[in-house]
């Protein structure tokens, strides 16, 4: 079923425009075939487009385009879009030696999504054996050109040609090429008045058809009984990860073990979403996306082989599996059709490498003798490094914020849920977050109450509240002086956190970890060393920590080229509560925000691989002071001066003098002088 044509308005492009796209069996075409511009400077042209009414009864709906700024409507009459279906069918696929005539049918008809009232004039041109000139038409020519009137009722019209054949031995194995081409005489005009009898020929359809006739010689049987066999090799990754670079290559070897195979062909059928990289000159793709290639114009004799290969572009693949089926044939009969087919299957998988980079400000907080609050900011950046594009509407970004810690039999609240501020940016959009705790939806700072009980949301819209879910009074003034009351409220949400399987990147060990996370001790030993035993870890992988979960649904797709999704979390931390859980054995606390990315269609969690740099804040008694740069400079200068003084003193003491070496050199010189004097005396 073909997709309908589409008119798209662009009212803000200049004074306005309307683009016309033609439909096809593969959907809408990527490029528009026509652009209507605003006549006479009517602004907002194309702001509204009618559904279409056939006002001139030509079988095609006409359209009305509005320009509301000038309160003007323009009526455009449309031409029918037609497709010419042509065929050349020889009555004999093979000619015997001595045959002097050949009959073939030349047929054509029109196809259109709608009917139209008038006939269409076609100019048809038939060429037979143009390269070798062995065909002669009854009028003595090599080409036949004629005009025909084609009715719109989709009837097929044919003409039979009885031509003379000249058989020449030197080219007896060369096939006779038949070709028919056409063009519409009543085509749509580019300008001027509307043409009542004109139609528009779809420019994306071929305007010719070809066929071949071969000579049957040298075979015991008529037609020849070939025995073609195909063997193939597919060069492609298994499985193929959607979005990966590269291409597939299918290599085939066709061998004939029987009589001569005239006009050997290979037919390639593939998955619709798998594209052919290059169509060879000897290949033709039909309307069903099946490619047929002539292997050779020469016959493939017994024992001969012919190699051929094809490249495929997997960039538009979809689904879970792709296939490539190759079949070989010839004009004769096949001895063993079972070995004429080769089939390849490629498994398709999706995999996205997600990198989560977390940062905190400030990273360290001094808490000694402090009972106030400290504002903390955690920024999370989510990168998709591909290769697979994350689909729109199926991706969720999840982050967990630890808010309270279990000490003894009571929960210590460290972060107030109502004080958490979350800002999420995706491309140029700001997204909303859905808060949950233990699979219960939460609402920050609700303003409507039915009783004095705290409001608990029963639905996503936060409209209905059921106060009976809580069995105590809660101070609604915002102050929580009653600590016991607050503890009672916190204990209502006390529930063991679901332990999830996740793949994370440990920045301390530089390794990827995928397991049930129950403790962070091994993860943090590299950072805190021996001090790890004196540190309390406040993160959502601990069973004694209560957390708030934020979930964000990403509305659009996320490609490897996109900017990261940014989550900025800001909240005050109660330092008095932190000091209350510390003692001489545990004198510091690490607060860590963890996060992950999920897909709704990935229940097995195999489509996403996460590398995470967690965001954490370290609460310590005192922050070590950084060494000032001026101290370093003064120390270096002082060291150089001291080295110079020591070197000079050693020099004055003769430490660097080599007296033994100087004595040896003096003796050598004296011996050389004495030897020279004795030599002169002898002369």
* pLDDT digits 0-9 by tens, 375-434: 999 999 999 998 999 999 999 999 999 999 988 888 989 999 999 999 999 988 899 999
Instruction: Give the pLDDT mean for 456-481.
Output: 39
Q: Looking at the predicted structure, is the pLDDT value of residue 344 above 60?
A: yes
pTM for the model:
0.52
Quick check: 162 and 99 in contact, CB under 8 A?
A: no
Instruction: Provide the CATH number for the domain formed by 225-349 in this structure.
Output: 2.60.40.1510
Q: How far is CA 681 from the centre of its chain?
A: 100
Q: Which residues contact 384 (CB under 8 A, 6 or more apart)?
A: 352, 353, 354, 390, 558, 559, 560, 562
pLDDT score of 169: 52
Q: What is the DSSP letter of 468?
A: G
pLDDT score of 505: 34
Between residues 675 and 231, the one the model is more confident about: 231
Kind and range of the H or E run holding 525: helix 521-528
Tokens 């607060």 — which residue? 591
Helices (H), 123-276: none
Rounded CA separation 109/157 (Å): 6
Instruction: Give the pLDDT mean for 516-522.
Output: 40
Q: Please write the tens of the pLDDT for every residue from 103-113.
A: 999 998 887 77
pLDDT score of 628: 60
How confident is residue 356, by pLDDT bands cut at 50, 70 and 90?
Answer: very high
Instruction: Give the pLDDT mean for 156-183.
Output: 84
Rounded CA separation 679/660 (Å): 29
353-444+523-621 belongs to CATH 1.10.10.60: no
pLDDT score of 680: 67
Instruction: Give the pLDDT mean for 212-230.
Output: 82
Rounded CA separation 551/565 (Å): 13
pLDDT score of 495: 37
Mean pLDDT check: name the lowest of 31-35, 142-146, 345-349, 566-570: 31-35
| Average pLDDT along the chain | 80
Tokens describing residue 599? 């897909």
pLDDT score of 572: 94
The secondary structure of 191-213, three-state, reads CCCCCCCCEEECCCCCCEEEEEE
Q: Which residues contact 466 (CB under 8 A, 6 or more apart)?
A: 456, 458
For the chain, give the percent of residues with pLDDT over 70: 82
Q: Which residues contact 112 (CB under 8 A, 6 or more apart)?
A: 59, 80, 81, 82, 83, 152, 154, 199
Report the 10 Å Cβ neighbour count for 663.
10
Tokens describing residue 409? 């039999």
**Partners of residue 162 on adjacent β-strands:** 103
Domain ranges (residues) in the chain: 6-76, 81-215, 225-349, 353-444+523-621
Look at residues 397, 444, 387, 395 and name the one whose alpha carbon lies nearest to residue 568: 397
Mean pLDDT check: name the lowest of 136-140, 417-421, 486-490, 538-542: 486-490
Q: What is the DSSP letter of 228?
A: E
Q: Looking at the predicted structure, is the pLDDT value of residue 666 above 70?
A: yes
Look at residues 412, 411, 415 and name the one whose alpha carbon lies nearest to residue 403: 415
How confident is residue 672, by pLDDT bands cut at 50, 70 and 90?
Answer: confident
For the chain, give the percent of residues with pLDDT over 90: 31
Tokens 């936060």 — which residue? 462
Q: Please write the tens of the pLDDT for every residue from 43-60.
A: 888 888 887 787 777 777
Strands (E), 151-239: 157-165, 176-184, 200-201, 208-216, 225-226, 228-235
Rounded CA separation 655/649 (Å): 9
Q: Please write the tens of the pLDDT for every residue from 584-601.
A: 788 888 999 999 999 998
pLDDT score of 244: 87
Is it true that 81-215 and 225-349 share their CATH fold? yes
Architecture of domain 81-215: Sandwich (2.60)
How confident is residue 524, by pLDDT bands cut at 50, 70 and 90?
Answer: low
Between residues 185 and 498, the one the model is more confident about: 185
Rounded CA separation 347/476 (Å): 59
């Amino acid at each position: 079923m073909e997709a309908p044509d589409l008119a798209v308005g662009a009212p803000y492009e200049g004074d306005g425009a309307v683009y016309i796209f033609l439909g096809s069996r593969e959907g809408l075409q990527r490029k528009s075939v026509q652009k209507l511009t605003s006549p006479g400077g009517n602004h907002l042209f194309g702001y509204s487009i009618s559904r279409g009414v056939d006002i001139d009864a030509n079988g095609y709906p006409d359209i009305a385009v509005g320009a509301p700024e000038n309160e003007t409507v323009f009526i455009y009459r449309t031409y029918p879009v037609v497709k010419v279906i042509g065929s050349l069918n020889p009555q004999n696929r093979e000619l015997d030696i001595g045959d002097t005539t050949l009959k073939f049918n030349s047929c054509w008809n029109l196809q259109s999504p709608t009917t139209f009232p008038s006939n269409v004039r076609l100019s048809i041109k038939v060429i037979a054996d143009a390269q070798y000139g062995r065909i002669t038409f009854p009028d003595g020519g090599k080409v036949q050109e004629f005009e025909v009137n084609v009715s719109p009722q989709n009837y097929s019209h044919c003409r039979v040609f009885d031509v003379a054949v000249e058989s020449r031995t030197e080219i007896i194995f060369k096939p006779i090429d038949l070709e028919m081409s056409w063009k519409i005489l009543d085509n749509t005009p580019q300008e001027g008045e509307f043409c009542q009898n004109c139609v528009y020929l779809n420019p994306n359809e071929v305007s010719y058809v070809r066929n071949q006739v071969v000579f049957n010689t040298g075979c015991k049987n008529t037609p020849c009984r070939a025995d073609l066999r195909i063997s193939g090799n597919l060069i492609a990754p298994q499985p193929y990860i959607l979005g990966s670079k590269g291409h597939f290559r299918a290599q085939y070897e066709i061998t004939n073990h029987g009589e001569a195979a005239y006009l050997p062909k290979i037919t390639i059928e593939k998955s619709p979403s798998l594209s052919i990289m290059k169509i060879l000159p000897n290949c033709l793709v039909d309307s069903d996306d099946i490619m047929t290639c002539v292997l050779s114009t020469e016959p493939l004799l017994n024992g001969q082989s012919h190699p051929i290969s094809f490249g495929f572009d997997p960039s538009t693949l979809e689904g879970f599996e792709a296939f490539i089926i190759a079949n070989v044939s010839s004009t004769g009969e096949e001895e063993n059709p079972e070995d004429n087919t080769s089939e390849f299957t490629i498994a398709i998988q999706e995999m996205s490498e997600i990198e989560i980079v977390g940062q905190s400000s400030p990273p360290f907080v001094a808490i000694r003798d402090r009972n106030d609050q400290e504002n903390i900011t955690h920024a999370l950046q989510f990168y998709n490094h591909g290769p697979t594009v994350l689909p729109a509407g199926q991706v969720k970004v999840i982050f967990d914020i630890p808010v309270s810690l279990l000490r003894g039999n009571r929960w210590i609240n460290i972060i107030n849920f109502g004080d958490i501020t979350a800002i999420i940016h995706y491309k140029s959009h700001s997204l909303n977050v859905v808060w949950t705790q233990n699979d219960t939806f939460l609402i920050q700072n609700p303003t409507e109450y039915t009783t004095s009980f705290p409001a608990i949301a029963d639905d996503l819209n936060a409209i209905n509240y059921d106060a009976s879910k809580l069995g105590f009074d809660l101070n609604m003034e915002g102050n929580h002086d009653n600590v016991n009351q607050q503890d009672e409220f916190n204990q209502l949400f006390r529930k063991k956190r679901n332990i999830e399987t996740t793949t994370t990147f440990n920045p301390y060990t530089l390794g990827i970890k995928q397991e049930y996370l129950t403790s962070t001790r091994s993860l943090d030993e590299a950072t805190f060393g021996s001090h790890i035993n004196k540190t309390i870890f406040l993160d959502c992988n601990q069973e004694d920590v209560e957390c708030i979960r934020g979930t964000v649904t990403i509305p659009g797709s996320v490609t490897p080229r996109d900017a990261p999704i940014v989550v900025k979390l800001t909240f005050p931390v109660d330092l008095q509560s932190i000091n209350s859980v510390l003692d001489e054995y545990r004198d510091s606390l690490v607060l860590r925000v963890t996060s992950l990315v999920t897909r709704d269609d990935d229940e097995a969690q195999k489509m996403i691989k996460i590398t995470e740099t967690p965001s954490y804040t370290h609460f310590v008694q005192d922050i070590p002071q950084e060494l000032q740069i001026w101290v370093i400079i003064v120390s270096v200068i002082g060291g150089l001066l001291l080295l110079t003084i020591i070197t000079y003193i050693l020099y004055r003491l003769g430490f660097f003098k080599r007296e033994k070496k100087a004595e040896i050199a003096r003796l050598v010189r004296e011996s050389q002088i004495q030897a020279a004097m004795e030599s002169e005396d002898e002369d």
